[in-house]
Structures are given as C-alpha cells and as structure tokens.
Structure 1
Amino acid sequence: MNKPTTLYIIRHGKTMFNTIGRTQGWSDTPLTKEGEEVIHYLGLGLKEVDFKEAYSSDSGRAMQTARIILQEHQKGAAIPYGTDSRIREWCFGSLDGGYDGELWGVVPRILAFNNYEDMMTNRISYKELANAIIAADTANWAEPYEKIRERVWSGFEDMAHRREQNGGGNVMIVSHGLTISFLLSLIDTSLPMQIGLENGSVTKLTYENGQFTIDTVNDTQYIDNGRAISLER
C-alpha cells in the first residue's frame, strides 16, 4: 500500500537582493551569510524527515538552499536531487533587478490603485498582477498568466504524481515566494495573495489521486527546531 505523498515546499534562503529590497524574478543573487545560517538551521530541523527525493528550481539561490539542507540531512547523499525550470520565480522582465519600490510602485498605478497597500486590500487576482507586469515591462520578457499557470502547475503536479506512482512518501522542493503563493491559489481560489512568505519557510501539501490538500503554509517551526538542535551541540 502506498504511503501518502507529501510535498515540503521551501522558499529559498535570504539573498543579497532580498536584503537590500531588490526584485529578483529570473535574476539571481547568492544567499547572504545570515541566509545560509537560517537554512543550515532549517536543514537540521528537517534532517529526520524521510525524503524520497528532492528538487529545486534551476535558479542559483534555490540550488544553494537545497544543497545546504541536504548537507545537514542524515541521508542527504542518498536522496536523489534534480532541478526543474518550471518552478522558477515569476519573470518581471525589465523590472527584474530593480528596487521593490519600482515594481510595487508602477503595478498598482497600472491597476488604478493609489499604492501597494490599496491594491492588496482590494485583493487583486494573479491574472491581473501578471497582466500589469506585462504592461510595465519595457523589454517584453514578462510571461503571460497562462504560461505561468501552465509551467507552475505542471512542475509541482508532475513531481507529486511521479512520487505517488512510485509508492508515495515525502518530497523536498525549493522554490520561490510568489511561485509558491501562486500555486496555493490554484489549489484554493479563496486564499489571499501571500507575497510575504518567509525565507526558509515550509509549505506542506498532500497529494492523492490528482488532488492537492494544503496542510501548512509559511511554517518556520523547522528553523526554530534546528536552531534549538544547534544550541544543544
């Protein structure tokens, strides 16, 4: 009998751009020293979870995060690990690499809101957000909503389905804040946009017969547990 299939979806560790308030998207910076430390704690907190396989996006910050976690895991060297470009962050086109204030300054105006807070209070849809990013992008690199939806859903669903077909169990996946939030909205349309997922937080999903169930969102207890383990050493 198959075990349940559970995805442990992790937002990558804190990066240089996260620290100075720049939009990353498909651009990339490495984890800071503090970011690495938190992910080491996360790895300690997850070290006894029986992961059957592990994945990350192909962005450097996600791969760096995955490697640190697997280094701390008691079976890390034996856990198959691969990358998948489908679970990358959204592409912000010409706004990639700019300060967050540029992205969250222009997008609300395009959507006829006074500011970011006004926009979030009115609970815009991810489709509206994607269309506004395309309108703001002067390089024509930003992705249409339909393309983001197809790649994000197929990426996570393929991983879950593959594990279910191979006996179930736990899968570790390192992805990105907006991508994880967007995936949750595809599972439960009543959820608000959750752009503020913490670096290193764990969002747990159960997958059975083609259906996802959301167990926990933005859980930082594994970091706390790992910090406690570190202090005991």
Structure 2
Amino acid sequence: MGSSLFYQADNQAAFAKEKTVTIYLTRHGETTANVTNKVQGWSDFPLTKNGTKVASNLGKGLKGIKFTDAYTGNLTRQYRTAKIALNNSNNKKVSIHESSSLREGGYGSFEGDSIATDGDKMAAVYGYQTGDEFMQKAGKDYWNQLQDAYYKLDKENSDNTKLVKTDRAESSADVQKRMTKEIKHIGKTHANKGGNVLVVSSGMSINQYLSGVTDKYKGTPLKNAAVTKITYKNGKVNVNSIGSLHYVNKGAKVNN
C-alpha cells in the first residue's frame, strides 16, 4: 500500500514537471502515385514537382515557428516533405528521425494497383457495388474499413501472391497501435522541455490514428501537406485541429 502511494506521488511529480509539446502532424506532399491514382502504402513513390512546391509552401507558412525536432515515416515522400518544409521555415538545422511506425498503412499484394479497381474489390467485402458507394455509406469509418478490407483479402491471398506474412497488408488495429505508440513516444520524449515538433506521415495512417483518439474525427480525406495540430502533456494527447491547409495557403501567398 505504501509503495503504491510513493509510486503515484513520483508519477504526479514527474507530470508536474512536464511542459506542453505541440505536434504538427502533417501529410506528405503530392506523389506520382497520387497523380496516377495508384495504391502506394509502403511503396516508395517520390514527390512530384507540385508535391515539392506544396512542401515548400508549407515551410514558408510555418515561418516563425521554431521546431525542436522532426520525425517522419521511413518513406521518401515523408522525409522529403519534412526536409523541404524545415528548409523553408528557417529550421534547417533541425534533425529528422525516421520511424517505420509513422509510415502509411501497408496494403501487401495490392501495392501499386489502380485505386479505382481496388476500390470496387474492397467495396465488395462489405456488400457494396462500387468504391464510391462504399465511401459514401461507410462515412467516418471508411478509412478503417478500407484498411481492414485490404487486410482480409490479402490474408486470404485473393491475388495469389507469394508474399510472406510480414509483407502482407496491415489491419486498421495494427496501424492505430503503431501510430498511437509512436506519437505518445514523441510527446513523452520532448515533455521535459516542451516546444514544437514536426511529424510527417500519410493520409490513411493519420486518419486511422485520429479515429481512435478524438471525437473531433469526421473521416474527411486529408489534403497533401494538411496539418493536424496535437498537444501532449502529462501523458495525454489532445487533438486541437484536423487537416488544416492554413500553413500551405499562407506560404503560397508568399510566392505571389
């Protein structure tokens, strides 16, 4: 009993010293797969010329905000978005840490497929006729259900591939678990000093993460370089805003 009280007191003392960490959780810039409507997931498609410009605009819109650190998934589109944004926001010296936990959801055998073709396949898992109907009827649960449809079909090996288990599609629970753990880890890592941290991930993984941590989540598709602002303090995550293009639009005006 006594040791339990001491443990609680130690925890309370540790939390009392924590400072607020503001996480700018950002989707990467436009990629070649975005333009050609292909499933990219863990596949490493590069930024387009427009994607580079959007990342630059993001950075210019973030000027005046000092970042203490930056984190990205282990995909080129995520790292390049962060690097370009930091360079254009007067944060060139900020380190970028890569983590596979922040990458996009994995789609296994379906990587590189046409989104339209796969959309209809995934819709059929839930009894819908088309991908558009699926998206409309599923509402804010769409991104999780889409991820789980990829997981189900790949687990059944519907495309008859020789992928090993670790290379096959993830479930939405898998994505949520790794994203939640990593973002909490980032917050805890910087809680002693507080400050701002740039985190660049991907649309599906961010949406699936948000669906499990806030009532503000509506399932709205995230635009390229859209920023979701999160604060971390005393072990708790609070989502302040979702998918804002404020910084991109602000930066674009600098070029005009």
Map 1:147-158; keep pairs closer than 5 Å: 147-158=174-185
1:168 to 194, 199, 203: 194
1:57 matched to 2:73? The reply is yes
1:229 matched to 2:248? The reply is no
1:27 and 1:66 map into 2 onto residues whose CA distance is 18
1:130 matched to 2:157? The reply is no
- Provide the secondary structure at the position in 2 that maps to 1:218: strand
Change (3 A) 1:149 1:65: same
- Provide the secondary structure at the position in 2 that maps to 1:49: coil
2:110 to 75, 86, 95: 95
Partner of 1:68: 84
The one-letter amino acid of 1:163's match is H
Q: Out of 45-54 and 131-140, give the one that drifted further.
A: 131-140
Percent identity over the alignment?
A: 29
- Provide the secondary structure at the position in 2 that maps to 1:154: helix
Partner of 1:179: 205
1:216 matched to 2:241? The reply is yes
2:193 and 2:77 map into 1 onto residues whose CA distance is 30
1:22 and 1:205 map into 2 onto residues whose CA distance is 30
1:15 and 1:125 map into 2 onto residues whose CA distance is 22
Map 1:22-37; keep pairs closer than 5 Å: 22-37=38-53
Q: Which runs of 5+ in 2 are unaligned?
A: 1-16
Deviations 1:174-193 (A, max 9, x none): 10001111111111257333
Tell me the CA shift for residue 64 of structure 1: 1.0
- Provide the secondary structure at the position in 2 that maps to 1:207: strand
TM-score (norm 2): 0.83
Cα RMSD between the aligned structures? 1.8
1:70 and 1:89 map into 2 onto residues whose CA distance is 21
Tell me the CA shift for residue 2 of structure 1: 5.0
- Provide the secondary structure at the position in 1 that maps to 2:212: helix
